[in-house]
Structure 1
Amino acid sequence: MPYKDPAAAKAQAQRYYQRNKEKLWKNPDGTWKTTRTPEQKRQQQRESYERNKERINAERRAAAAANRREGDCPLCFAKGVRLVRDHCHRLGHTRGYICNHCNLALGHARDNAATLVRLIAYLGRSRS
């Protein structure tokens, strides 16, 4: 029954606690429940954090290994190099696997074909 008077509610809670102390603080097997110290709580939180960090790192390593490949680059024809997944930033789809140098070149050109054409023209002018 809810009390309008906070002091009466507190007194009722204290009476309930005194009558049911053993039920509240004893385990079903009869042993007393114990509270953890702040250091024990921090230790449990640390352990939980470390477990989660290891799980996440393992998942990231597995994902990286799935994306890692060796082979020949289809753009620059480099043989036996590590290939990385090339993707479109605008649409998010995978375009294929190319070497890191070609992937960086596309990234620096911001995947803009017009920029790449101008770069090719610039290289052609500088060779003459």
Structure 2
Amino acid sequence: MSTVHPLHSTAMRSSQKMGANPDLLAHIRANQLDKDIFSASRHSVAVGPVTLEFRVSANPVSATVELYIANRLIGGGTLNHAHPSAKFGGAVDKLKSEADLTLDIPGKKLDFRFTVCAPVVGCTSRSGTLGL
């Protein structure tokens, strides 16, 4: 493992100015954002330590979904034209959860339902629809 001494670091020192050095990122074009950059969004739904995270896109219509229990990934997948539905779940210690999802491509929406079960308190479910 190598150690970088602060005096020999390639990081910019506070006394250096951007204009004093050549453009070290000249190989990256400015203003190269894709026109569809805003067609994607992120969402999440949580019940206690269980979180269902969504990344949805309208162009092309798709959704990537991940299910976490206590910050541990227990399942997930990508829904699209070829695979418009998914069901997955798992457990961490005594907490159990399952997610059921359907991507409605013509309607540009994602329907979801997930259930969480814990000892003593029992089970609860959340469901909803995300527009793409």
TM-score (norm. length: structure 1): 0.24
Greater CA radius of gyration, 1 or 2? Answer: 1
| Bigger relative CO (Cα 8 Å, ≥ 6 apart) | 2
Which is strand-richer, 1 or 2? 2
TM-score (norm 2): 0.23
